[in-house]
Amino acid sequence: MAHSLSAKKRVRQNEKSRIINRSRKSQIKTQVKRFEATLEKGDVETAGEQLRLLTKKLDKTAATSTMHKKTAARKKSRLAKKLNALKAKRDQGMSSSPSTSPEQA
C-alpha cells in the first residue's frame, strides 16, 4: 500500500484512468462487433457509415493514449480492408449478372 500522499493520489488517479480506458476499449469492441455483423449481412452502405463512426472513435481513443496510434491505425486498416472486399464482391456479382446495359441495347 502507498504511504506518501503523492503515491496515494497516484493510486486514485490510476484507478480512475483504468476505468475510463476499459470503458473506451469496450465501446470500440462493441462497435467492431456491430460493424462485422453488418458485413455478414452484406449491407455495404450501413457498414460504410459504421466504419466512419468507428474510425472517429479509434482516432479519439488513440489521441487520449488509451490505445497507441499505430494500433488504432492497424485496426482501421483491417476493417477498411474487410469493407473493400465486400464492396468488390458485390460489384463483381453485379457486373457478372446478365443485365441489359445501354451499351448492349
DSSP state of 101: -
Of the pLDDT bands very low, low, confident and very high (cuts 50, 70, 90), residue 101 is low
CA angle 47, 53, 55 (to 5 degrees): 100
pLDDT at 98: 59
**Which residues make Cβ contacts (< 8 Å) with residue 20, sequence separation at least 6?**
66
Answer yes or no: is pLDDT of 65 > 80.
yes
The letter for the amino acid at 8 is K
How far is it, in rounded angstroms, from Cα 58 to Cα 54?
6
pTM equals 0.79
Domain residue spans in the chain? 18-75
How far is it, in rounded angstroms, from Cα 49 to Cα 61?
19
- Predicted confidence (pLDDT) per residue in 5-40, tens digit: 999 999 999 999 999 999 999 999 999 999 999 999
What grid cell was written down for 18?
483504468
How far is it, in rounded angstroms, from Cα 69 to Cα 66?
9
Q: What is the CA radius of gyration of the chain?
A: 21
